[in-house]
Structure 1
Amino acid sequence: MINSKEMSVITARISYELDEAIERFAEQTKSTKSEIINSALKKYLFEQSGIKHSPNHEDNFNDIDWANFKPIYTLSDDARRILILLEQIAANTASDEDDQKQHTFASEALVKGYSSEYEEVLPGIFPEVPNEICDEAHDIMSMFQDLLTSYNNLSKDEKTSVPDMNEHMIHCQGFDFNDPSELRLFDFLRFMREKDRWSIPYDDMIEHSDRGNSHQRQLSQYRNMLKKHKFIRQHILDYSASLSRDEIIQITNL
């Protein structure tokens, strides 16, 4: 949604055909014409200026919708032709009558260009998660693995002297499943865990949360911890060295 407090009003001349196209698109997507124009201009300027997504840039992070399924508004003619051939092959080779009807329906919808039916006949896909976001997810797991390992390497007296709140924050608290962005981050980490990546911090997260669900947003907190963790690690010559008690407390202080 556009925040009217941050918007200015401009006047521009566009063709009647373009205005009608925007109107139809607005009705189809249940958006306003202003939202569509604002989004299109922002995307165009990002592409032309070479601005890349940065997880540290909150405006970019919120503007790029990589967390939700991509709706299918249109397909190129070449894409339709390829899909039509595939659907016709599938219909001709289907052993089940219902499958044959489904592929025939899909083929006809694509041939006749019934765009409102595309989402019924094509699999839904998510937009690509930017490399920066994937890297950030890896950094979060790396930080928690470092915290867990370093805490375990403390002496008994040092462990006892770590405040309860800091000890609590040594464990990843999961991600908010009600937030699409955080849910996708968790799903990416789950995918990585299936490939035997980050097993220690991931399994610890599952144990210290509701199966990974934090029920409240955590990403901002993790980012603040990451800044402190990276700053401390930059000043430790031997990266294999464990964090000290004081460094663990500094990173996990809220």
Structure 2
Amino acid sequence: MAVLNVRVDDHVRDQLKEMADAEGVTLSEYVRDLLLAAVMPVYAADVKHGDEPAPESMRTIDRRVLSLLHRILARVLPDDANDVDGDLEYQLERAKILEEGFAGEYWLEVAGLRTELSKRDCGRVSDILEMFRIITFSIDHLKENSTPVDEKLAFQLEFRGFDHNDALEGHMATYVEYQMRDDRWSELKPQVKRNDRGNSHARMLDTYMRMLGEYRRIMDSRQRGFDRFDYLLAFDELRQIADARVHPSNRPQR
């Protein structure tokens, strides 16, 4: 075990000794525990997407506002309230935690709140849906013009949703559901329904991003057209996007 020598003023040493005596341990044991607490927290779980960490502190004004909201809700809840809002006693207890400043209990204020799905990730979802929308229209157009896409290729180019067991992709799946409310992205709803209501049961984001990269490359290489069908993809272009599903390291050498 390493030995660490630390020089402190006499009055600091005396204060540490008094604190160690109060805890019933030696001065060395007390200082060692302080150092361990500083560099090796007892519990420091990795924060993953989906976990909203509890605030370590709150501004006084925020505590006051939240405590007042809890007290107001406590007074307006029906006598037989027993749902997610709890009852009068539950709300008053939440107000007390905030008013007393019990920081260790602040997690109750964020319980049930999900980590934000960033603007970047929301944009990714929208771009992925738009790509599959164009793919779907393109496949339908080829079929109408007597050049149908074979079932295997069509299956490879189908939107399968996101993995509900992955925190980030599960959040993206929720955003897809939100995006598809009413009649938005209606052309993709049958695909979502066929694929367990948008649960891919396997992580798909990396695959979609490779496909999206190829889709963007194809679109960027085109000159601007004026025909209403100019945005559609040709058979060879659909094949290129489907091939992009496979990671480059796993693609056969040509």
Question: Which TM-score applies when normalising by structure 2?
Answer: 0.69
Structure number, greater radius of gyration? 2
Select the residue among 137, 143, 151 that pairs with 2:139. 151
Select the residue among 234, 248, 251 that pairs with 2:220. 234
Aligned to 2:183: 196
**Distance in 2 between residues matched to 1:146 and 1:211, nearest whole Å:** 20
Deviation at 1:187?
Answer: 0.5
Aligned to 1:221: 207
Select the residue among 64, 71, 78 that pairs with 2:53. 71
Residues 207 and 85 of structure 1, relative CA distance in 2, 3 Å threshold = closer
**Distance in 2 between residues matched to 1:112 and 1:77, nearest whole Å:** 11
**Distance in 1 between residues matched to 2:236 and 2:196, nearest whole Å:** 29
Aligned to 1:96: 79
- What whole-Å deviation, never above 9, does each CA across 1:168-213 have from its counterpart, x for those lacking one? 1221012111111111111111011115322222x03323312111
Alignment map for 1:48-63 (pairs within 5 Å)? none
Residues 157 and 103 of structure 1, relative CA distance in 2, 3 Å threshold = same
Aligned to 1:7: none
Select between 207-216 and 111-120 the one with higher mean Cα deviation: 111-120
Residues 125 and 219 of structure 1, relative CA distance in 2, 3 Å threshold = same
**Distance in 1 between residues matched to 2:187 and 2:35, nearest whole Å:** 55
Aligned to 1:173: 160
Considering fraction of residues, name the structure with more helix: 1
| Alpha carbons 2:52, 2:110 under 8 Å: kept | no
**Distance in 1 between residues matched to 2:100 and 2:37, nearest whole Å:** 19
Deviation at 1:251?
Answer: 0.9
- What whole-Å deviation, never above 9, does each CA across 1:100-155 have from its counterpart, x for those lacking one? 11111111111112233333355532232221111111110000010000011014
Deviation at 1:238?
Answer: 2.3
What is the percentage of aligned positions where both structures have the same residue?
Answer: 26
> Number of matched residues?
202
Question: Which TM-score applies when normalising by structure 1?
Answer: 0.69
Amino acid in structure 1 at the alignment position of 2:97: A
Amino acid in structure 2 at the alignment position of 1:139: D
Residues 147 and 121 of structure 1, relative CA distance in 2, 3 Å threshold = closer
| Alpha carbons 1:171, 1:204 under 8 Å: kept | no
- What whole-Å deviation, never above 9, does each CA across 1:45-90 have from its counterpart, x for those lacking one? xxxxxxxxxxxxxxxxxxx95x313121332222111111222223
Aligned to 1:120: 108
Q: Which runs of 5+ in 1 are unaligned?
A: 1-15, 36-63
**Distance in 2 between residues matched to 1:20 and 1:92, nearest whole Å:** 46
Query: SS state of the match for residue 185, structure 1?
Result: helix
Residues 122 and 246 of structure 1, relative CA distance in 2, 3 Å threshold = closer
Deviation at 1:158?
Answer: 2.2
**Distance in 2 between residues matched to 1:172 and 1:199, nearest whole Å:** 13
Aligned to 1:41: none
Aligned to 1:251: 241
Q: Which runs of 5+ in 2 are unaligned?
A: 1-30, 82-86, 246-254
Aligned to 1:207: 193
Select between 140-149 and 77-86 the one with higher mean Cα deviation: 77-86
Q: CA RMSD in A?
A: 2.8
| Alpha carbons 2:173, 2:198 under 8 Å: kept | yes
Residues 112 and 167 of structure 1, relative CA distance in 2, 3 Å threshold = same
